């Protein structure tokens, strides 16, 4: 499948998740603190290359893919390279929020299934401790009938787009690197896409 088709399918999945998580956030009242970004600073964030294919393709279209790949190859930093700290007190933000990955869109507002088959809200300590009433109410409601995005369901849908790139889970910077390599290799012997569209069928 062409890069553009895969990018389009991943973006459709993000759109579907956006609608589901907006509804969940409105019903639950749970929300991130403006300018927090703490979860992006964890060195153990993991993702699949496929969820960053739209990001890599966007950089490629803007002539920034090779430069970014060089930076990633040189870096030993475990924090997501897209994260930009804004202050010494730990605040920061995603510098490419529109192109963030699936894990970034799910964390905080999605559930995992525990060993008893029950849904468990996967969120951060800041939300748990800072919004205890909404957190407890929501944790209880999702075991009953409150609709919530589920990690495994979204990752299964991602795998169906490209099993190879969707099924590998890597430290986030390795996933970014592999997404860039995929795009650069794909276009190494193909014409540049015209206005974001490929000139020739893949």
Residues at the site binding ligand SF4, with contacts judged by CB under 6 A: 40, 45, 80, 82-83, 94, 100-101, 104, 172
By C-beta, is 104 or 139 nearer to ligand SF4? 104
If the CB atoms of residues 95 and 160 are measured against ligand SF4, the closer one turns out to be 95
Which letter does DSSP use for residue 191 in this model?
A: P
Give 88 or 188: the residue with its C-beta nearer to ligand SF4.
88
Shortest distance, position 41 Cβ to ligand SF4, whole Å? 8
- For the bound state, the minimum distance from the C-beta of residue 99 to ligand SF4, rounded and expressed in Å, comes to 8
Interatomic CA distance for residues 104 and 100, integer angstroms: 6
Q: How far is the CB of 47 from ligand SF4 (least distance, A)?
A: 8
φ, ψ of residue 16 to 5 degrees: the values are -60, -45
**Type and span of the H or E element at 67:** helix 65-74
Pairing of strands 119-122, 170-171: unpaired
- What is the three-class DSSP state of 183? helix
Radius of gyration of the CA atoms of the chain, in A? 18
Which 8-state DSSP code applies to residue 76? Answer: -
Minimum distance between the CB of residue 200 and ligand SF4, rounded to whole angstroms?
31
What is the token pair recorded at 190? 């193909």
Q: Return the number of the residue (6 or 100) whose C-beta is nearest ligand SF4.
A: 100
- Which lies closer to ligand SF4 via its Cβ, residue 13 or residue 40? 40
Q: Establish how many alpha carbons lie within 13 A of residue 96's alpha carbon, considering only the half-sphere containing its beta carbon.
A: 16
At its nearest, how many Å lie between ligand SF4 and the CB of residue 169?
A: 14
CA–CA separation, 47 and 27 (whole Å) = 28
Nearer to ligand SF4, 104 or 148 (CB): 104
Q: How far is the CB of 172 from ligand SF4 (least distance, A)?
A: 6
Closest CA to 30 of 119, 143, 134: 134
For residue 169, give the DSSP letter: -
């Amino acid at each position: 499948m062409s890069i553009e088709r895969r990018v389009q399918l991943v973006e459709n999945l993000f759109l579907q998740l956006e609608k589901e998580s907006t509804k969940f956030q409105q019903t639950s009242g749970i929300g991130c603190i403006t300018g927090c970004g703490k979860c992006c600073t964890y060195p153990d964030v993991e993702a699949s290359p496929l969820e960053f294919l739209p990001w890599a393709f966007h950089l490629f279209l803007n002539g920034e893919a090779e430069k970014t790949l060089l930076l990633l190859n040189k870096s030993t930093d475990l924090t997501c390279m897209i994260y930009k700290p804004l202050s010494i007190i730990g605040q920061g933000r995603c510098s490419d929020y529109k192109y963030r990955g699936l894990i970034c869109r799910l964390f905080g507002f999605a559930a995992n299934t525990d060993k008893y088959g029950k849904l468990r809200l996967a969120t951060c300590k800041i939300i748990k401790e800072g919004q205890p009433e909404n957190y407890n109410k929501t944790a209880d409601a999702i075991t009953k009938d409150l609709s919530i995005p589920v990690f495994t369901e979204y990752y299964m849908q991602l795998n169906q787009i490209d099993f190879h790139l969707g099924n590998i889970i890597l430290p986030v910077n390795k996933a970014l690197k592999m997404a860039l390599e995929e795009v650069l290799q794909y276009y190494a012997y193909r014409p540049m896409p015209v206005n974001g569209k490929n000139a020739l069928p893949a």
